[in-house]
Structure 1
Amino acid sequence: MMRFLMTYESGLIFGFGIILGGMANPAKVLNFFDVAGTWDPSLAFVMGGALGVTALGYRIVLRRPAPRMADIFHLSTLLRIDVPLIAGSAAFGIGWGVAGFCPGGALPVIGTLDPAVLTFTGAMIAGIVIAKAIKSRSQPLGHTA
């Protein structure tokens, strides 16, 4: 039960931060990308603040021997830039630039039932399912990632 409450609390804080920072507003996000037109640099401060909090948070949290709600830290061991990383980053960036939503920004406003948000979220879920299917078909038998 405590794990559920911590997850719920983290989600609320994240969603509130996304909304407060304006990242749930696709017009604000699209204006951030429109450097030749109605450029709005304010999201750079939101992203910079998030980067600072994350960097500091990792330094503090990773000093602990283990997380509070798990036995070990689950950190990526991948240290190379490869095709899946580049393709995923490109898909994320293109989707964000075209739709004005990133997954983190769309989820807090899904309750508005805005057709643009529902379309984006449906496409995101379909993309995740398709990517997992492609990845599972390309894995050698007995190998799990």
Structure 2
Amino acid sequence: MKLIVYYLIGLVFGVGISISGMANPAKVLNFFDLAGSWDPSLMFVMGGALIVTFIGYRLAFRRSAPLMAPRFEVPTRRDLDLPLIGGSAVFGIGWGIAGFCPGGALPALGTGMIEVAIFVASLIAGLLTARGLRRIGVNALTKSTT
């Protein structure tokens, strides 16, 4: 039953990403092009997502536990460290260069565009590299051992 629910949630997310244009790198890049052909329409997508998330969290946290898990998995750390800031910067730069974020690229795989496949392959390579560096105790951002 969980897999069916997860599939349906992913399907709704993918359809929403596609309808909103966030799977279209040209539309995303135009959003970042403030001095050229700026397209502000993605602000409405982001605003809508924030509103839905705000309401969803308020409703979900009224429950003592999630429907499909024994407890909520909520981050407890609140500090800003170099890996968090560096990772956020790399994410933003990659999004601005490629026009894809991971959430928009996965549904776009269905388009068959080679650019999407290259982006997703690079994303997976980056994730595996970071995991490997963490496993051997190297923090790639500070060039020190932990």
Structure 2 unaligned spans of 5+:
139-146
Tell me the residue number matched to 1:113: 112
Indicate the larger mover: 22-31 or 129-138: 129-138
SS at match of 2:77: coil
Give the residue type in structure 1 aligned to 2:72.
F
CA displacement, residues 122-143 of structure 1 (integer Å, 9 cap, x when unaligned): 000000000111112227xxxx
Tell me the residue number matched to 2:141: none
Aligned counterparts of 1:112 and 1:4: Cα–Cα separation in 2: 24
Aligned counterparts of 2:30 and 2:66: Cα–Cα separation in 1: 38
Aligned counterparts of 1:126 and 1:70: Cα–Cα separation in 2: 30
Aligned counterparts of 2:126 and 2:77: Cα–Cα separation in 1: 22
Which aligned runs of 4 or more in structure 1 are off by greater than 4 angstroms? none
Aligned counterparts of 2:137 and 2:36: Cα–Cα separation in 1: 43
SS at match of 1:6: helix
Q: Does 1:123 align with 2:125?
A: no
CA displacement, residues 44-103 of structure 1 (integer Å, 9 cap, x when unaligned): 110011011101100110110000111001111111111111011011100100000000
CA displacement, residues 10-51 of structure 1 (integer Å, 9 cap, x when unaligned): 000100110111100000000000000000000011001101
Give the residue type in structure 2 aligned to 1:58.
Y
Aligned counterparts of 2:44 and 2:86: Cα–Cα separation in 1: 26
Give the residue type in structure 2 aligned to 1:6.
V
Identity, % of aligned positions: 57
Tell me the residue number matched to 1:45: 44
Tell me the residue number matched to 2:144: none
* TM-score in terms of structure 1 length: 0.93
Give the residue type in structure 2 aligned to 1:125.
I
Give the alignment's Cα RMSD to 1 decimal.
Answer: 0.9
Q: How does 1:87-102 map to 2 (within 5 A)?
A: 87-102=86-101
Tell me the residue number matched to 1:18: 17
* TM-score in terms of structure 2 length: 0.92
Q: How many residue pairs are counted as aligned between the two chains?
A: 138
Tell me the residue number matched to 1:56: 55
